[in-house]
Amino acid sequence: MKADEFQLIERAKEGDREALNSLFAQEQKSIFNLMVQLTGDPALADDLTQETFLLAYQNLKKFRLHSSFRTWLSKIALNLFRREYRRKPKHVSICLEEIRIPSEKDIPERIVIKREFQWCILHSLQQHVPTKYRMALVLRDLQNLSYREISEILPWSIAKIKTCIHRGRKILRAHFINGKCKAFAEKDYLCICEGILEL
């Protein structure tokens, strides 16, 4: 933990409002994005982020500085996310349009599905990657945490974390291949988006 973060936490624990604001302000965006990546739903992510900070505020005195502040907040956020998914059924949203692709030398004219790229990534993660794999994958590949940092957030061994990350990636890739995404299927594709042009 950085020395200035340590000092901010100590001051915030003693009731220093300015320290608390500064501490929370620098983590808000990270926690909100973690929640969007896990839920695929900005409105739900908004509620869960607020709840995370409320809980962190109420429990700050119990934080014993054994991990970084972000890791501690992420642990609270992950617990709220798991509670949310135990009690709520999944909501399936559909977002696509069909477009006609003119024929090329090797490909006859065809109708393909066009999806919005950002929606497609979030939807694929949320609907096709099981929760435990998604949590590990999001922490590693989207939050860029190390295996060790993830083991401080999820109560799993490093070996289990590695397995979950790898299975999550495999399932996600299989979904893009089976969905006939142009980036993966080359000639025989059925689905396109603006995003693949930038890959």
Partner 1 sequence: MNCKEAKALIPEFYDRELNQEISQALGKHLEGCLECQKEYNSFQKIMKVLNKLKTYDLPRDYLKGIKKVKKSNVSLFHKKLSKFIKKND
Binding site for partner 1 (CB under 8 A): 21, 24-25, 28-29, 32-33, 36-37, 42, 45-46, 49-50, 53-55, 57-59, 62-64, 66-67, 72, 75-76, 79-80, 83, 117-118, 121-122, 140-142, 147, 155, 162, 165-166, 169, 172-173, 176-177, 183-184, 195, 198-199
CA distance 46 to 67: 25
- 43 or 94: whose CB is closer to partner 1? 43
Q: Which of left, alpha, beta for 50 (phi over 0: left; psi -120 to 50: alpha)? A: alpha
- 101 or 152: whose CB is closer to partner 1? 152
The strand order across the sheet containing 191-192 reads 97-101, 110-114, 191-192
- 58 or 98: whose CB is closer to partner 1? 58
- 23 or 105: whose CB is closer to partner 1? 23
Query: Rounded to the nearest whole angstrom, what is the least distance from the CB of residue 80 to partner 1 in the complex?
Result: 8
Query: Rounded to the nearest whole angstrom, what is the least distance from the CB of residue 102 to partner 1 in the complex?
Result: 25
Angle in degrees, CA 83, 84, 86, rounded to 5: 65
Query: Rounded to the nearest whole angstrom, what is the least distance from the CB of residue 87 to partner 1 in the complex?
Result: 10
Q: What is the DSSP string of 6-38?
A: HHHHHHHHTT-HHHHHHHHHTTHHHHHHHHHHH
CB 171 within 8 A of CB 132: no
- 66 or 187: whose CB is closer to partner 1? 66
Positive or negative: CA dihedral 55, 60, 64, 67:
positive
Query: Rounded to the nearest whole angstrom, what is the least distance from the CB of residue 160 to partner 1 in the complex?
Result: 14
Strands in the chain per DSSP E: 97-101, 110-114, 191-192
Query: Rounded to the nearest whole angstrom, what is the least distance from the CB of residue 103 to partner 1 in the complex?
Result: 26
